[in-house]
Amino acid sequence: MTARTPVPSPVPSPALDSLHGLVLGDAFGDQWLAVSPDEAPGRYLARELRPGPWEWTDDSAMAQVLVRHLVVHGEVRQSALAGEFAAAYAADPDRGYGPSMHRVLRAIGEGGDWRAVTTGLFGGQGSHGNGAAMRVAPLGAWFAADLDLVVEQAHRSAVVTHAHPEAAAGAVAVALAAALAARGRTAPAPGRAGFLQQVAELLPDSDVRSGLRIAARMPAGTSVRHAAAVLGSGYRLSAPDTVPFALWAAAGHLDDLPQALWTTLGSWGDTDTTCAIAAGVVAARTGAAGVPDQWLTACEPVPDPAGR
Ligand SMILES: [Mg+2]
């Protein structure tokens, strides 16, 4: 194969909107992890905002790397992407990366091959954590015109850090949801059940897909607490324990980013990651429409991914 010279691509606006939503969700959700369990429910019911600044975490750091990668390459080139994740980690390691990602990104940064490093985790199974899903929504919005390409590119982006099939299925699910949200920008929002079923139909057989099918069958009016209890809410940090709930929350509020975030937060699980996923999906459709200025001002800014 002949190597092609990368040509910088402009960021499609749904992908940029998705990135900004993901960062906002990540920062919004992370602030609540510092609130004591005694105080959180009352403050949540009062919709009491946390004081700023809201700093973003590893979810946003990796999403920014992924979008910058697409700007440069126009597609996922796995060895380059692995190196870029490792470089961003080395430059700013205190963003709340999980223990296995510390090991993976350090090893890649020291010259390890991403295939060997990622498959060396957890007895050869690789990580099934939610880290590949948490960063991928903008990629889904980027390739929204071609769902086959969304599946392929999301999978390729996932496996550079997460070798387990469930982690990749989680990433593909989130990317598809963002793509479907972006494709529907000019049409009325689809119903929650239909949206979740559409994502599930395009996934490989997996626990993530099973969770999405259960989510799609939940009756209207199902409480956040019940949905989180059945589907999981990231408490176990795995993709199957994170993605179905986050997409259920997003799918119920595709036209209302703040409400999607309050709903997602109400699970009290891995709230920076569930909020990053839900917001990355919803914002691919809404942008920052309806988000109070106070939220946007509180959120730590991100550099322009196309900045050179
Ligand atoms: Mg995080």
Give the Cα separation of 212 and 115 in Å (integer). 29
Q: How far, in Å, from the CA of 3 to the mean position of ligand 1?
A: 35
Q: How far, in Å, from the CA of 82 to the mean position of ligand 1?
A: 18
Cα–Cα distances in angstroms (integers) from residue 74 to residues 143, 153, 202, 280, in the given order? 10, 10, 23, 20
Residue 1 has pLDDT above 50, yes or no: no
Domain presence at residue 290: yes
How many structural domains does the chain have? 1
Residue 264 has pLDDT above 60, yes or no: yes
pTM value is 0.95
Closest by Cα among 97, 114, 111, 124 to 158: 114
Q: What is the pLDDT of residue 242?
A: 96
Q: How far, in Å, from the CA of 188 to the mean position of ligand 1?
A: 32
Give the Cα separation of 152 and 133 in Å (integer). 14
* 87-129 per-position pLDDT tens digit: 999 999 999 998 889 999 999 999 999 999 998 877 777 788 8
Domain presence at residue 277: yes
Domain presence at residue 6: no
- Amino acid in the structure at residue 158: A
Domain presence at residue 5: no
For 133-242, where are the alpha helices, taking DSSP H only? 137-142, 147-158, 165-183, 192-201, 207-217, 224-231
Q: How far, in Å, from the CA of 58 to the mean position of ligand 1?
A: 5
Domain presence at residue 285: yes
Q: How far, in Å, from the CA of 97 to the mean position of ligand 1?
A: 6
Q: For residue 187, what are the domain limits?
A: 13-298
* 25-83 per-position pLDDT tens digit: 999 999 999 999 899 999 999 999 999 999 999 999 999 999 999 999 999 999 999 99
| Residues of each annotated binding site for Mg(2+) | 57-59, 270, 272-273
Q: What is the pLDDT of residue 7?
A: 64
Ligand 1 is an ion; residues with CB less than 5 A from it: 57-59, 96, 272
Q: What is the CATH number of the domain that holds 33?
A: 1.10.4080.10
- Residue 202 half-sphere exposure, CB side, CA atoms within 13 Å? 24
Domain presence at residue 121: yes
Q: How far, in Å, from the CA of 6 to the mean position of ligand 1?
A: 30
Domain presence at residue 158: yes
Q: What is the pLDDT of residue 5?
A: 58
Enumerate residues 6+ apart whose C-beta is below 8 A from 124: none
Residue 6 has pLDDT above 90, yes or no: no
Q: How far, in Å, from the CA of 59 to the mean position of ligand 1?
A: 5
Residue 219 has pLDDT above 60, yes or no: yes
Domain presence at residue 7: no
Closest by Cα among 11, 7, 291, 35 to 141: 11
Q: What is the pLDDT of residue 122?
A: 72
Q: How far, in Å, from the CA of 2 to the mean position of ligand 1?
A: 38
